[in-house]
Amino acid sequence: MTRSITSREIEELKKRLARASEFRFEEADLVISMRLNNRDEGSAIRWVIHRVGKPNLLCNTHGLWETQTRKAYRSDSFVGRTRMTLDEAFELVTSFLPA
């Protein structure tokens, strides 16, 4: 028998998730990792989505995979496209996984 999760339990889960620095999703041959990009004081918290096993691939905000270049060669545009909020990252990751 299943039960509904209470609003209090949801809020507690959100607090716990807010302290996480990585989430990993595995489905058949697709493994995706969401990693916290920064926790700099005063900076917005941004996440990146990596295709595990393909270390140079990052997902952009349009759901497309882009090749990651060395840090010195990354444009501001690339960084802007591949960094996202936790909600945006979860939405994109779940779009890759079967229902």
Q: Are 47 and 89 in contact (CB under 8 A)?
A: yes
Q: What is the token pair recorded at 79?
A: 């960084």
Residue-wise pLDDT for 47-72, tens only, equals 899 888 876 889 999 999 998 888 77
* The predicted structure's pLDDT at residue 40: 55
Return d(Cα 2, Cα 60) in angstroms, integer: 36
Low-confidence ranges of the chain (pLDDT < 50): none
Instruction: Quote the pTM value.
Output: 0.72
